[in-house]
Structure formats: C-alpha cells, structure tokens
Chain A
Amino acid sequence: MSSTNGKTINLKLRIWRQPNSKAEGKFVDYELKNISTDASFLEMLDILNEQLQKRNEEPIAFDHDCREGICGTCGFVINGRPHGHLRGITVCQLHMRHFKDGETIVIEPFRAKAFPIIKDLIVDRSAFDKIIQAGGYISVNTGAAPEANSILVPKDDANLAMDAAACIGCGACVAACKNASAALFTSAKISHLAYLPQGHPERAKRVVAMVEKMDELGFGACSNTYACEAECPKMISVSFIAKMNREYIAAKLK
C-alpha cells in the first residue's frame, strides 16, 4: 500500500549510543533516505534499525510500547526537546511530516541523576514507582468500597482530578527541568487524589511522604521555570505544583 501523500524526505541523524549504564556513551551519525512523511518518528527509527541489522550493526535500543501516546513507555530528547518540538504529544505520536528534507535530528536519552541510562536511549524511571509507593494511593482494600453513587463529586472537582490523573509517567517533565525536578509528576498524583473526597482522609500524610520521597530519590527542587508544563505530552498544568505546595504547607502546619 502506498503512502497517502507519497512525500519522502532524507535525514541526518545524530543518536546517542551507550552499551550499558557503566560504559561511556557517544553520539553516532547515521543517514536515512526516502522516509515517508506519513511515518511516525518511531517507525523512522524502526527503518533505521532494520538497515543497521542488515549491515550487522546492533540496532538502537529505545523504549516504546502502545505507540498511541498513553502507556508512557517511550520518550527521549529530540533536538533538545523531550518528545520533540510539538506540544502535547509523545514521541510515538510525532510524525515525520513535521520534519524537513535534509534536516539533522539529534536524539539523546532523558538526562537526570534519578534516571540512570540503561542502554542507548533507555533510562531507568523506577524512581517514579517509588514516589507512588510512598503514598500515591487511597488505602482501600478490595471489597471495602461503599456504593459508588454514595460518594458525590462535584463535576468541576472531578474534571480537575481527571486533568491531573491524565499524567502518563513518562518522565519528560524531569528531563525538561534544569534541576531534574519531579515536581510536576508528583504534584499531579497528589492533586488528583486531593481534589476527590475519597482522597481527603490521607491527604496530609500523603503529601508529606511523597514530597520527602521525591527529594530522597535525587530529584532536584522546583524553581518555577515551567519547562515541565511546556514539554508535558499531556499538558499537565503547573498549577498542580502550586496545589502540592499548598497541601504540603497545610500538612506541615497541622
């Protein structure tokens, strides 16, 4: 089947290669010809990987799974921007029609102390799970729930909670931040649960535990540059960081 508009482009790629967490990494240049502009960015890398394997070179390791912008598995830095230059999407949703013929594209992993590089473009983001383990839940055992409609949630609160809960945990916020802060990720979970009545009994304990865990794991402090919001594929608002700070202060003053 032919592509819908038949346009193709040639590219120069400069990609970070690093065999494992301990080895030194470096940029390696590749050329790629006749890439359909209807292909996605990851399909472009698939094509490169097929060509590399054909000439007995190891393919580039990169994380990906759903390829529709929801699992949060993919993510690396393209020309200095996490998930590329378009707003509100993940790498897997980025298509080659947004690149020019002959363009040089620089691709490197998310860089943050708390996200060590595993191989090539893959980083270890398990620190996010540890932040959630510190309190990103409501303590309800299976079977202990009341009838669903006995809990009323004003529509506006439900919408705000959903805005925050839309976070996919990809780590772009950390990669975008000059301090490698996890404030946007952490505040999104704290806000999601704080806007809902179900989350109220534990809100003070939760915010303190999660914020302290975030600091302990080596993420930097938030200095309000808002780079995180600008690069977040789900456009999570920095107003949740303000919400987290208010929750934290209120909890500490208790």
Chain B
Amino acid sequence: MNLNSKIPSGHISEKWTNHKFNLKLVNPANRRKYDIIVVGTGLAGASAAATLGELGYNVKVFTFHDSPRRAHSIAAQGGINAAKNYKNDGDSVYRLFYDTVKGGDYRAREANVYRLAELGNNIIDQCVAQGVPFAREYSGLLDNRSFGGAQVSRTFYARGQTGQQLLLGAYSALMRQVAAGTCVLFPKREMLELVLVDEFARGIIVRNLITGEIERHSGHAVILATGGYGNVFYLSTNAKNSNATAIWRAHKKGALFGNPCFTQIHPTCIPVHGEYQSKLTLMSESLRNDGRVWVPKNPNDTRKPTEIPEEERDYFLERKYPSFGNLVPRDVASRNAKQVCDEGRGVGSTKMAVYLDFADAIKRLGKNVIEERYGNLFQMYEMITGENPYETPMMIYPAVHYTMGGLWVDYNLMSTIPGLFVLGEANFSDHGANRLGASALMQGLADGYFIISYTLADFLASNKLGNVSTDHDSFVKAQKDTEDRIKKLLSIKGEKTVDELHRELGKIMWDYVGMSRNEQGLKKAINMIRNLREEFWKNVKVLGDDKDLNQALEKAGRVADFMELAELMAIDALHRNESCGGHFREEYQTEDNEAKRDDENFAYVAAWEFKELGKWGLHKEQLTFEYVKPTQRSYK
C-alpha cells in the first residue's frame, strides 16, 4: 500500500488556497443527487452535516445519543484557539502553526497544522454569527485568555463551558437543516459495521438502540466523526458511552490506523477515590493560569496544605520551567506530577495527587475575580470532593483525556478506504504526539465547517458513483456479521460482567501503556490483553435480548472492540523506540528526564494495516519539516 498524503505543493501559507482552487466542484443542482452519511454529532459531525446540508446534499446523520446535543464535545471547558491577535501580543497564524507543531513534538504534518491555524479565525467568525456567547470585554469586544503551551493570549472562551456553547452552535445549525429537510436525523443508532462496495465506502449497518432492529443505510460517501478512544483505559475524562467501535469497524475493513499509541494524559483531573469509580473529571487547564502547582518538599509531611510554610513547598513546574512555569504543555505537566508522586511526595490519602493552589491568586486579584473566571469549576470540584478550593488547595492528578491517534487520513481527510472520510478526534491528523489545549475544538470545527465540504465535492466529482441498493450482497453480509456478533455476545452467559472485564483492561493499559512505558511492560501488556480478550469471549455475561433497549449489550460490543484496539496501542508503543509528546518510553529520555525524540528513525506516522486479529502490518508516512525545524522541545 502506498500512503499518499496528497499534501499540495507551494509555500505553506498558500497550500490550502491553491488546493481549494484545484479541487473539483459539484454544481448545486447535482448535489441533491448525493446521499452523504455522517456518523457522530459532536463538533466535527454536527458542523459537517449542517454545512453539507446547507450546500444541498442529502445528509443522513447518525448518533447513538438521544439528541445530537449530547455528544462529548459538550464537555470541553477551557476554550478554542484562534490567531486573531486581538491582544496585540505578537500572535499570528504562523505562530499558532509553530506552537502547534512544536507542542505536538514534531510528529504532525506541517501542511495540516498550518491549515488548521489558518482556519481558526474563520471559526471564531462563524461561531459568533451563530450566537455563541463568547466572553466579552466591557467595550463589547471579544475577550481572550492564555492557555498551556503558548506565550500569547489567543484562547476564546464562554465561561468554563466553551465546548458546550460551540456544540450548541453547531447543533442549532444542524437543527436548522433538519427543519429544512436537507439533513435527516437518526438518533439512538449505533454504527456497528462499515459496508464496502467495489472497495468504496458505500454504507453502514446500525443498530436501533431502542428497538434493537438492525438497519442498512447506503450513501455515496461515509463521514466518521465519532471521537476518540480514551475509554480503552476504562477510567478517563471521556463520557461513559464514548467508544471506538465505528473507527475500529472501519479499520478492520481496511482503513489504516495512525499512531494508535499517542494518548494525551491531562494534568489537571480530580484524583481517583475508590474502586467503584466510573470516570474521572477534568478540571480545565485554564486553572493553571492562576493556580500554582506544588507538593511538600518533605515526603513525610502530613500537615494540612495551608499549614505548610512557603519555604517547605516545591513549586516544581515553576522551579524547572521558569519561562513557562505552570503553563507548560500537558504532557510535560503530567509527567512531572507523576514524577513527584513516584518520589513519594504526592499528597492526599492515596499520595497520588499534587496541589493546585489559588491562595496567591485570590490574594492578588480578589476572590471575586477568581470566582468570575473559574466559579463553575470550583463548584464542580467541591461537589465531587466535598472540599472548598477557595479555602484549601485543590488536589489534582493526571488522567487519560484525548487520543491524538486515530484513523489515518490524507490532506483531504480521506482514509485509505475511498469514500470514507474521518473528522475530528477520530482521525490522527493535526496534533502529532501531544495536543495543545484549546485546539481540539478548533480541529473539530475546521474539519467540519471548512474542509470537508471542499474535499468531499472533489471526491464525488472525480468518481462516477452510481447508486447502490441496500439489497446488495455487501449489505446482506455486513448485516449478518453484525447479527452473528450480537448473538455470540448474548450466548456466552459467563461469569464476569462487561464492566468487570473493562476495568481489568483499563488497569493493564494504565499500568503499562499509560503515562510512562517500557519494553518489558509493553510486552507483558500485549500478553495480558490477549489473555483477557480470550477470557472476554468465553466468560462475559450479557443478560437480556437483542430486540430491546439493552445497555449491557451496547457496552459489550464496545468493550470487545477496545480489547482489540488495546493490543494495537501496545504494539505501536513498543515499536516506537523513542519518546515524543505523550508517548514516553522510559528507555529514551534526556538527562533531565524530558522526552527524547529520535528524528532520524521515527519522524514518521505509523499507519497500521489490519491483517488478522493480533497481526498488523506497518506502513510509514515520512514527515518532513520544511518550516519548523525539529529541536529538543524546551519550555525552560
């Protein structure tokens, strides 16, 4: 297989403009002849569906939620980046591009990142026009704040609910198209299979989650915008239903999977508190603007944090990274928190936490200002922990948050299956080995509002695609495969519940494929995952039947796929003999414990081809850096 990234020629600042001109168009009268399937209604899916509907395509939109507005984009708190330079602090599209390539530790495609930085400004314009209530200055102009990994203020925000407001904007645009009849909504449908006809993606098989009915849907192209796979770790900040099934089914039908081991561990989450814990809660990274991260210097210090004097505290991020301080990128902040906890200096009953302290900020700015900035986050913290962060420092610990890896796509966001496009977190494309804060929202909306409409038109205009009937053999077979799988899950009647097995998988992943990895641990993990997967298919217990709303059955299908994906993540982490961004291999670190890249041997995207279960083929897309020369990342 020849991986062609289709990066346009020309200067980086002109690539997208030139490419748009070179792409073929579909004339308005012909658009209504095309059926486009969109799976997922988060920022990427909802914005894509609405935009394609506005253009006149027939769009069928699928979500496993009861309403498109529930998609997990809604939970993003902090903000969205754009290089508007409203603060006159030296920002530019080029600087946002530079920060993102560097933040991604030189494992992202330059051309994609530049386009993302370029489109950021259009996104803000679009969202404001939709009525997204961004924070304002007294002048009525838009406000900005700073965020990790950057020295400029370029983050637009709507209190601590930026994701919610952006998603409701995209959702309202989608609802407008549903009312207009250009988009047809299929809620409570879960995609369980991709259907290929003559090697093109031509449809999907979904299960109606209320009636259990299996449905076939055909189209001229399929767009997956189904989010990330952080829940492979069981405990993550992802919503409980977030899963990898749609992309994993596509992967098994031939779509290569890019950089599966690139996982982002977010530094500011509420620590784990018990065995029954079902998920982890993120506290927005924006808290690091004013909060100071510290642990006691003495590992055996049992005093209350407020009783520990200044000189006996170690503000370890400020000490090690004086120029970025508490605003170092996520991977660096997470790794350092783990390090101090491994040294025995962690705090709280589990000793697996560090303090995030607002006492100085409250003294400097007043409680009112802090409340205005972070009121809802402080309230959320108190709700969960029973402690008041205005009076005592928060306790935080890193948690799985985002997956930079995903299905491999070219510059047109098309996977290795023709007609299968992948948007947002579900693809691998823009964040390299580490995503900077406030750029996931940007990517989801750039893909959905401003990229897919151009590249999809080119695909449709370049390929003479007739209609396919859902009676085609490929649909019949895909439906049968789906039904057999469901029957199998229900017939095992074993001893362990889906959640029990999922927890076991999560523990393996966190211990050996988590924040820090090594060869021995990864090899061990691969064996453990294989054994657990075998156990799953012999010993899972799923009650009820398939012609009904059956949440245990839904989970079982998703966890079965996680059991396969987990192995690929470990294989990818094992093969990448370097550290970069969120992928930290203990064998490869600098003298001061920073990630040590190997650009000579690993400056590529690892794109994995599924051969059979437990067997993958590696394809490499070499990355070239013409504009941002790779250096050892330094935030000192």
Contacts and interface: CB of A to CB of B under 8 A. Distances in A.
Interface of A: 1-4, 19-20, 36, 38-40, 42-43, 46-47, 50, 53-54, 56-59, 61, 63-73, 88-89, 93, 95, 97, 118-119, 122, 124-126, 128-129, 132-134, 136-149, 151-155, 158, 161-162, 165-166, 168-169, 192-193, 196, 198-199
Given A145-B128, A165-B165, A122 B136 contact: no
Interface residues of B, number: 88
Interface string B22-43: 0000000000000000000000
B456 interface: no
B133 A196 contact: yes
B273 A69 contact: no
B384 interface: yes
9 contacts: A1-B275, A71-B75, A93-B384, A119-B549, A128-B67, A129-B67, A136-B175, A140-B173, A148-B125
Contacts of A139: 176
Contacts of B173: 137, 140, 142
B72 A142 contact: no
A43 B131 contact: no
A86 to B, nearest CB: 8
Contact of A148 (B142, B240, B386, B543): B142
B466 interface: no
Contact of B499 (A50, A73, A88, A129): A50
B527 to A, nearest CB: 25
Interface stretch (B47-55, B478-486, B573-581, B590-598): B47-55
Contacts of B19: none
6 closest A-B pairs by CB: A152-B140, A145-B129, A137-B172, A145-B125, A162-B133, A133-B179
Nearest to A65: B239
Given A65-B72, A67-B240, A137-B175, A2 B139 contact: no
Of A53, A93, A136, chain B has the most CB atoms within 10 Å of the CB of A53
A89 B125 CA distance: 32
A140 to B, nearest CB: 4
Contacts of A4: 273, 348-350, 385
Contacts of A38: 273-274, 386
Of B67, B84, B185, chain A has the most CB atoms within 10 Å of the CB of B67
Interface string B249-283: 00000000000000000000000111111110110
A118 B551 contact: no
B117 interface: no
A136 B84 CA distance: 29
B74 interface: yes
Interface string B157-178: 0110101110010011101101
A142 B453 contact: yes
Contacts of B282: 68
A73 B125 contact: no
Contact of B281 (A59, A68, A158, A193): A68
Interface string B182-196: 000101000000000
B544 A165 contact: no
B626 interface: no
A64 B66 CA distance: 11
Nearest to B543: A58
A36 B386 CA distance: 14
Contact of A152 (B139, B276, B497): B139
B269 to A, nearest CB: 11
A152 B129 CA distance: 11
B501 to A, nearest CB: 12
A59 B551 contact: yes
B86 A125 contact: no
Interface in B380-424: 380, 383-386
A143 B173 CA distance: 13
B544 A58 contact: yes
Given A63-B66, A122-B549, A145-B126, A54 B140 contact: no
B278 A95 contact: no
Nearest to B134: A158
B131 A64 contact: no
A71 B175 contact: no
B130 A140 contact: yes
Nearest to B52: A142
Given A4-B348, A155-B138, A95 B383 contact: yes
Given A39-B274, A162-B133, 8 more contacts: A46-B278, A66-B240, A68-B279, A129-B67, A137-B175, A152-B139, A165-B158, A198-B129
